[in-house]
Amino acid sequence: MEFINIMENTRFKKELPSYLRFIQLVESIGLMKLSPELDDLEAHLLDRIAINALSGTHVQIGEMLALSQLGSQATIHNRIKRLTANGYLSVRIDQADARRKYLIPTSLAKKRFDVLSKALNKAVLGA
């Protein structure tokens, strides 16, 4: 089955809601392989970590592992390791207590959010 690329089809461009145009743009960005692919869980974890970081609160690895609604501790830990290995996160060890390890978004994570933000702006403006 061939899917319609709404960004190339002017008939659909203005008819579809902004969110669907955004999804189309995100899919086209993913196809361009700008950065290592993230699965849905990795993207969700990275989003949560980045939101906390922007508010000035760094997330500890243990806090993320406690999010049982997202998956088992092993699953979450493996995704955090992949995010770190792919350069989206760095781990900072607390100097006062070496048992505390914080997850910090990297410049690659910021680049990903910048690209997604541009796609969202483009979809909302219908450009």
Q: What is the 3-state secondary structure (H, E, C) of 97-110?
A: CCCCEEEEECHHHH
Average pLDDT, whole number, for the chain? Answer: 81
pLDDT recorded at residue 122: 79
Average pLDDT value for residue range 21-34: 66
pLDDT recorded at residue 40: 86
Domain boundaries, the chain: 10-125
**Per-residue pLDDT for 4 more than 60?**
no
Pick the CATH number of 10-125 from 2.60.40.10, 1.10.10.10, 3.30.70.20, 3.40.720.10: 1.10.10.10
